[in-house]
Amino acid sequence: MTYQTLHITRDGAVVHLTLNRPTVRNAFNEVLVAELTAWATEAASASDVRCVVLAGAGTVFCAGADLAWMARVSAFSHQDNLKDAQAAAEMFAALDRLPMALIGRVHGAAFGGGAGLASICDIVVAESDTVFGFTETKLGLIAAVISPYVTLKIGQSAARHLFVTGARFSATHAREIGLVHAVVPDAEVDERVAQYVKEILTAGPGAIADVKALLRQIANQPPAAMSAFTAAALATRRETPECQEGLSAFLEKRKPSWHQSR
């Protein structure tokens, strides 16, 4: 498939997925939303992909919604608005369902839906000068479709503070609240991303897929209610060929078959 708004390259088992609307700071419009959904839906079944690095072309990771798109939306009927919002919700859901590791390489700014993208990444590496913000209330909007992912990532308290104020915040603060995992100077971003990729390629791909699915299932559930579910998940995973290979490799002091070095 040919994409208008995405640039995609492949390095072995690693896909580099780049938002490619630099002239509008990689802001979302209906085309970018549709293409991200289509790509994620197809990639979910790509068994040879172990890791995806999500980045933005130009000076900014993602500035949120395209103002021209927002101008068109303002004239929509309720049904058209609902359809448009549902498309955005499905985009985030499709990216969240990816079975492989998703690393966010964030620089410049991540506002609104751009900060929402960071919230669905398993790992986020941010350039130290990056500015974040859930800025929807500044436009009279609300951070709605991203809210389930953001609150799981940073908690209700931080979400309330940042959603209500719409305030911008630093990469350091983003790390403090759990939105970001590593904050490094611009010159070191790619090196840190590569370090995370290296770690991911030594882990069982099936185990990564299963644990991501497990975390979605247990989110916000009382531990006691999840006991039977998590026990069954562990028992099932122990019986997989991948787990058997991992345990054998450990006992035999060798690398498991899935292990890749960079």
What pLDDT digit, counting tens, does each position of 29-56 carry? 999 999 999 999 999 999 999 999 999 9
Under a CB-based contact definition with an 8 Å cutoff, are residues 89 and 40 in contact?
no
Q: Which of 72, 88, 126, 128 is nearest to 104 (CA)?
A: 126
Confidence band of 260 (pLDDT split at 50, 70, 90): confident
pLDDT tens figures, 213-242: 999 999 888 877 877 887 888 778 888 898
More confident residue, 118 or 223: 118
* Assigned token pair, 132: 């974040």
Return mean pLDDT, the chain. 93
72 contacts: CB under 8 Å, gap ≥ 6: none
Tell me, what's the pLDDT at 262? 65
Check whether 121 has a pLDDT greater than 70.
yes
Cα dihedral 27, 60, 212, 163 sign: negative
pLDDT tens figures, 66-91: 888 877 877 888 888 888 889 999 99
pTM greater than 0.95 (yes/no) = no
Tell me, what's the pLDDT at 232? 82
pLDDT tens figures, 142-161: 899 999 999 999 999 999 99
C-alpha 247/C-alpha 238 separation (Å) is 9
**C-alpha 163, offset from chain centre:** 19
In three-state secondary structure terms, 103 is strand
Look at 9-18, 49-58, 128-137, 224-233 and tell me which has the smallest mean pLDDT. 224-233
Under a CB-based contact definition with an 8 Å cutoff, are residues 1 and 38 in contact?
yes
What single-letter DSSP state applies at residue 187?
A: G
Q: In this prediction, what percent of the chain has a pLDDT beyond 90? A: 74
C-alpha 91/C-alpha 149 separation (Å) is 12
Tell me, what's the pLDDT at 55? 98
C-alpha 243/C-alpha 224 separation (Å) is 26
Residue 125: CB atoms within 10 Å: 28
C-alpha 175/C-alpha 213 separation (Å) is 24
Q: In this prediction, what percent of the chain has a pLDDT beyond 70? A: 100
Tell me, what's the pLDDT at 219? 87
Tell me, what's the pLDDT at 130? 98
Give the residue carrying structure tokens 């293409």: 35
Tell me, what's the pLDDT at 70? 77
C-alpha 15/C-alpha 46 separation (Å) is 11
Check whether 163 has a pLDDT greater than 80.
yes
C-alpha 23/C-alpha 213 separation (Å) is 36
Inter-axis angle of helices 241-251 and 205-218, to 10 degrees? Answer: 120
Highest mean pLDDT among 162-166, 222-226, 249-253: 162-166
